[in-house]
Amino acid sequence: MKRTLRISLLFFVLPSLLMGQDRRNASSPFGVVASSSPIASDIGAAIMEQGGNAVDAAVATAFAMAVTYPTAGNIGGGGFMLVHPSDGSPPVFIDYREKAPLASTPLMFAEGGSRKNHRYAGVPGTVRGLSLAHELYGNLPWKNVVEPAVRLAKDGFVMHAGLARSISRTVQRSKNAEFKRVYGKAGGGQWQGGDKMVLSDLGATLQRIADHGTAGFYKGETAKLLAAEMKRGGGFITEEDLSRYRARVRVPIHFTYRGFDVYSAPPPSSGGITLAQMLQILENFDLKALGRWSPQAHHLIIEAMRRGYANRAKFLGDSDFVTIPDRLTTKSFAKELAASIDPKKATASDTLGPPITEEEESRETTHFSVIDKTGMGVSNTYTLEAGYGSGVVVKGAGFLLNNEMGDFNPKPGVTNRKGTIGSSANLIKPEKRMLSSMTPTIVGKNGKPYLITGSPGGRTIINTVLCVTINVLDFGMDLRSAIDAPRTDHEWFPERVRFAGARDPAHADLVKALTALGHKVSSGRLGDANSILCTGDTYHGAADSRSGGVAAAKK
């Protein structure tokens, strides 16, 4: 009882007491959580205070974010978790990506249209995935790691100003009556920072999950409510879809870079394979000698991205349905790609093959990183796809549904140069997982986690992870600097370079030099890399300044 009270007080008092403080950084030898939700980060740290390990903290953080970060935190979506055990056993990847419903057809979205509706919802995987992670590695009882989120939803939480503005804007624009009822302010008007939000129906759903595990979501009352919502809105998910869904344990993509072990996301994520190609291309060059902001280093980074994303589009999809060439992650293949780079001019993207259509991935995802006192590390990225997903709240259950079906290729064989990139490997099929760019990554050193990172950002995710990784490993930046540094993004098509520092006078000469090499440079905001760096016996957590998140340490 005392434990419950202590965490409960933390939920409601600590965030308001610390409002206005800079809590982006935290260091501790006992454990750290870095996420985009201050309350969720505090809950994860509190779970470790109660004797939980990194997976317990990750599960609690994820459920808490379903309450406090509704743009992307979820139980109605899906994602990926990478676990680096502390006992010397190999890292494990848990795939809880959403699936296409059984009633799906290859051309069901060929006509396009708004994705903010029931039809675009894939079968949710989050609850199964978090449960599987806990089953494999959790230390505390399941109920203990879900209950904090239950109390947040039932008793309410204090919103910061950014969340209040976001919810108010979305309520105004929403066409979903249940969304307006659940997230609208009683009596009308705008939410303000410091207001308390109570989500009773979501609390009841989370209580069923706490009491009954996955059966509290995929069967019984919650499943019936979800299936009924689908019927009302013309969606495709049925109780059978829910009962058949399973999370998968997969072997992570593993390669070495500059003597470090890198573990990242396998298919149905495109992240790990694309990251492996890009880093191993760059391993053929001395980036450190060139300098982080030199035109030569930037040119090589851009060309590595161009080649990695071209192969992403050509070959990658759900490996349960398509065969992916083994050579894509080999150093020999990367060496061939590196040799094709002209040091004096940009490669024309169409020389690497014609563009192939795929819908643009939404950037409204979220990533968090966790490590505990034993050195167990967790890198977790999960999403509803677009901000607030489909915009559909399940009536009576209180949770948002994803709109992930838009990540499939909707028009086989249609090509263009506007950045809609994909392949036949990512066509819609019943129970298939849609291709993703989520890239939860752990860099290992001497068998232990060294850098834990990942990001939201749609197809920009992989490039954000690349930039943070080379900032640390090649250029020796501290974690705060590595995350705050302006990032670069090139995705093969469209034929452009987005550089977050493009409008900074300090980088004017760099932009001019890249333009002279034939690159089309524009500005843009990229990613949100809540990360952890391990130095000696201390863990340094850094929440990305772009998200307003928090790094919380176990004391």
Gap between the Cα atoms of 400 and 77, Å rounded: 8
How far apart (Å, rounded) are the C-alpha atoms in residues 103 and 108?
Answer: 10
- Rounded-to-10 torsion of CA 53, 56, 57, 60: -170
For 461, the token pair is 């995710």
Residues shown for the chain: 555
Q: How far apart are CA 544 and CA 548, in angstroms?
A: 7
Q: HEC string of 172-217?
A: HHCCCHHHHHHHCCCCCCCCCCCCEECCHHHHHHHHHHHHHCCHHH
Q: 154 burial class (0-12, 13-18, 19+ CB within 10 angstroms)? A: middle
Rounded to 5, what percent of the chain is helix, strand, coil?
Answer: 40, 15, 45
Tokens of 426: 């990512």
Integer Cα distance of 371 and 52 in angstroms: 11
Q: Is 108 exposed, middle or buried (0-12, 13-18, 19+ CB in 10 A)?
A: middle
**Residues paired with 367 in a beta bridge:** 381
- What contacts 517, CB < 8 A, 6 or more positions away? 295, 299, 344, 345, 346
The answer to whether 109 and 418 have CB atoms below 8 angstroms apart is no
Catalytic residue among 61, 274, 365, 366: 365
CB atoms within 10 A of CB 115: 21
Q: In the structure, how many helices (H) and strands (E) does the chain have?
A: 18, 19
Q: Are 325 and 423 in contact (CB under 8 A)?
A: no
Q: Is 365 a catalytic residue?
A: yes
- Are the beta carbons of 452 and 58 closer than 8 angstroms? no
How many Cα atoms are found within 13 Å in the side-chain-facing hemisphere of 482? Answer: 30
- C-alpha span between 193 and 105 (Å, rounded): 44
Coil, strand or helix at 510: helix
Task: Provide the β-strand partners of residue 553.
Answer: 32
550 DSSP β-pair partners: 35
Beta-bridge partner residues of 248: 95
Instruction: State residue 177 phi and psi, 5-degree precision.
Output: -60, -40
Q: Which residues are within 8 A (CB) of 450 and not within 5 positions of it... i.e. 6 or more apart?
A: 260, 443, 444, 533, 534
Contact 529, 551 (CB under 8 A): no
User: Strand locations in 431-475, DSSP E?
Assistant: 441-445, 448-453
The answer to whether the CB of 469 falls within 8 A of the CB of 451 is yes
The residues annotated as belonging to the active site are 365
